[in-house]
């Protein structure tokens, strides 16, 4: 089995050391580099070719949000998971919209951080439905109606099955969970997700979830008792 190539980015050397010790102990994860600031990320990505970047959102020079935006604008960009101390933070929301695959709290148990890296590398989301909803609720405000109209116009490009998949992705389900709920194979789920991403010009599943929420699709599900 090919090891997941991981780049660590945090301005606190003690945090980096702890993450390196924790994640380096996993047989299927290889730490290919470390950085103390977002300004170093692109150079290290070119040099080490990581599959996943685990990055602090708050750093003194170039923060994780800016670094994420720069990375996700590149071809064949690695997945980005942000480290934060906040459960619902506007910067985190902006980073997710910019293409981050999710985030984990710094006080998350070690086993869950390891699992988050594995899930992102496999193409699954790392936000639990509860945390996803916290972030989405945090985004709601005076511009909600405008976002809803725009999101529904974009989702009109999907066929009925793709729209159905987009909604369950918005609930934070993994590929296996979606397959069980919609009575299809995992391979078919992956195909539908890939088509949704391509049609909507999105980077990852979290952005699908945010768009589904902006369109009000998750609220409609709750209203139907799902």
pLDDT (tens digit per residue) in 158-204: 999 999 999 998 887 888 889 999 999 999 999 999 999 999 988 88
| Residue 132: inside a domain | no
Instruction: Identify whether 64 is part of a domain.
Output: yes
Assign residue 172 the CATH number of its domain. 1.10.10.10
The parent domain of residue 208 ranges over 137-215
The pLDDT value recorded for residue 86 is: 67
Domain count, the chain: 2
The structure's pTM equals 0.73
Q: 147 and 46 share a domain?
A: no
According to DSSP, the β-strands at 79-84 and 4-9 are unpaired
pLDDT at residue 173, rounded to an integer: 81
Give the tens place of pLDDT for each residue, 199-224. 998 888 888 888 888 888 876 555 45
Element holding 31 (H helix, E strand): strand 29-35
Q: Based on the domain organization, do 99 and 146 belong to the same domain?
A: no
- State the Cα–Cα distance between residues 123 and 190, nearest whole angstrom: 9
In a domain, 220, yes or no: no
- 224, part of any domain: no
Below-50 pLDDT ranges, the chain: 142, 223, 225
Residue 168: name the closest of 154, 149, 153, 184 by CA: 184
Residues 28 and 82 in one domain: yes
């Amino acid at each position: 089995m090919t090891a997941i190539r991981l780049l660590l980015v945090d301005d606190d050397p003690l945090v980096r050391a702890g993450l390196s010790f924790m994640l380096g102990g996993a047989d299927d994860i290889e730490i290919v580099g470390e950085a103390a600031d977002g300004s170093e990320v692109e150079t290290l990505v070119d040099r080490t070719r990581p599959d996943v970047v685990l990055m602090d959102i708050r750093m003194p020079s170039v923060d994780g949000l800016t670094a994420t935006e720069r990375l996700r604008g590149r071809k064949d960009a690695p997945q980005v998971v942000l480290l934060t101390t906040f459960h619902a933070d506007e910067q985190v929301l902006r980073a997710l919209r910019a293409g981050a695959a999710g985030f984990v709290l710094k006080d998350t148990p070690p086993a869950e951080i390891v699992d988050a890296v594995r899930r992102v590398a496999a193409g699954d989301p790392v936000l639990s439905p509860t945390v996803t909803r916290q972030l989405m609720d945090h985004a709601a405000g005076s511009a909600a109606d405008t976002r809803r109209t725009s999101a529904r116009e974009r989702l009109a490009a999907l066929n009925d099955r793709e729209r159905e998949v987009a909604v369950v992705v918005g609930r934070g389900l993994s590929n296996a969970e979606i397959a069980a709920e919609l009575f299809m194979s995992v391979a078919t789920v992956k195909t539908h997700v890939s088509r949704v991403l391509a049609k909507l010009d999105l980077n990852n599943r979290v952005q699908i979830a945010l768009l589904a929420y902006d369109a009000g699709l998750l609220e409609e599900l709750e209203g139907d008792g799902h």
